[in-house]
Homo-oligomer: A and B are copies of this chain.
Amino acid sequence: MARVPAHSKTGSIVSETPGYRPLYRQVYDIVVRRVAQGDWRPGEALPSEQSLARELGVSQGTMRKVLDALTAEKVLDRRQGKGTFIAQNTQERTQFRFFRLARPGGRRLTPALGTESARVRAARAIERERLELSRDARIVEILRMRLIEGTPAIREQILLPASVFPGIEKQTPLPNSLYTLYQSAFGVTIVATHEELTAALADAEDHEQLGVAAGSPILVIDRLAVGLTNRKVEWRMTRVSSSNLVYAVTLT
């Protein structure tokens, strides 16, 4: 990689506006692009720090800074003595990372699957807006119910751009951990979710499917999930029969 400060008194040839762009930032972008376009499969090992550094023409220290950053973002997984791997959204890992429901006091839970349905249809205006889809986009709508220790407790409506997950509606029954499927079958790695929580009252469908009285308190989670290239790839509405379940999160 050329040692060009990108910004100097002697008007430089390369680089445009951004003023100054550290080398590790440029290397970071290169590696992210490669990961996003699937140069390596989930779980697969990248070349060693040394060889990547040589290949990209930077020092090992700079390469390390990049790989460490991607490890912090949970895109990569480094293991001393073994190598650097594409992080896998395994069931257990995704569970702990994005599934925040627990018993009061903190004990983690693993929900089981109840009924589910999936179909493809035209996207509504609000759905196109939230998922940033074009006018004639189609979406996959998944409705499912999940059990906590045998009891219906969670209702989910999941909306996906059909173009990103072609044919996913035929893959029923869907696995408990969708994010694992997104990554392994569609190359989509979820790196972050934006959630908005509110309290609501149980409606007729909650009553019917969750077995709670209409008017019971329900925790509603509105989640937008974004992939590696910052694309919005899932909109999920979750309704939780709140008695004896909490949404647990740590802020730092």
Residues of A within 8 A of B (CB): 73-74, 97-98, 100, 102, 104, 106, 191-201, 215-220, 222, 240, 242, 245-252
Contact = CB atoms under 8 A, between A and B. Distances in A.
A100 B192 contact: no
A233 to B, nearest CB: 15
Nearest to A201: B217
- Of A197, A199, A249, most buried by chain B (CB within 10 Å of CB) is A199
Contact of A218 (B98, B217, B250): B217
A174 to B, nearest CB: 21
A197 B38 CA distance: 38
B199 A219 contact: yes
A199 B199 contact: yes
B200 A199 contact: yes
Nearest to A197: B247
Nearest to A248: B196
Given A215-B215, A217-B217, A217-B218, A252 B197 contact: no
B217 A249 contact: no
Given A193-B251, A199-B242, 20 more contacts: A74-B252, A97-B251, A102-B196, A104-B196, A106-B196, A192-B250, A193-B250, A195-B248, A195-B249, A196-B248, A197-B246, A197-B247, A197-B249, A198-B217, A198-B246, A198-B247, A199-B200, A199-B240, A201-B216, A217-B217
28 contacts: A74-B252, A97-B251, A100-B251, A102-B196, A104-B198, A191-B252, A193-B251, A194-B249, A195-B250, A196-B247, A196-B248, A197-B197, A197-B219, A197-B246, A197-B249, A198-B242, A198-B246, A199-B200, A199-B217, A199-B218, A199-B220, A200-B217, A200-B242, A201-B216, A215-B215, A217-B217, A217-B218, A249-B249
